[in-house]
Amino acid sequence: MTQFPVNTTRIDPYKNFKFRVRWDGKLVCGVSKVSALKRSTEVVSHREGNDLSTPRHSPASSKFEAITLERGITFDPEFEEWASKVYSAEGDTAVSLAGLRKNITIELLNLQGTVVRAYDVVRCWVSEYTAQPELDANANAIAFETIVLQNEGFERIDVSEVEES
């Protein structure tokens, strides 16, 4: 029995270290970490009056967990600009919600750089922004900035629809 019907010579699953993120129709540079895409559905338990003591279960509403993107700090202001859509040091009157929500695409690549799986994540907005990590003169590490994206769901897309860059 073939484990991978599309690529019958493949035995091993894909690695998690080759990926890219897109928004506004372009690649987001420098993203080094993306948290898991996770959906959970609440369970409603119920019993009928003459049932045994074991309840029945049915699905209720579903929710999607926030996604965290992490990248090394560079001169690129994209994370900060998007995060600033919900907050301004000048007060609420300086905040414009235009451009608050974006759809993003997360692409998983094989070792040759071909997209093998892709997801559209819809109506994302930045709920947390880490502009600068804790600094430590004794460390030997990269300074990372992070954003946490609230979203309203994700959907797997056909990889043939993903534009090559």
Beta carbons within 8 Å of 24's beta carbon, 6+ residues apart = 102
Tokens of 93: 């009157």
Read off the pTM.
0.85
Architecture of the 19-37+66-161 domain:
Roll (2.30)
pLDDT tens profile 43-82: 999 888 887 788 889 999 999 999 999 999 999 999 999 9
Number of other residues whose CB lies within 10 A of the CB of residue 84: 16
pLDDT tens profile 72-120: 999 999 999 999 998 888 878 778 788 899 999 999 999 999 999 999 9
Going by C-alpha positions, the residue among 104, 97, 88, 96 that lies closest to residue 149 is 104
Instruction: Report the distance separating Cα 66 and Cα 137, nearest Å.
Output: 32
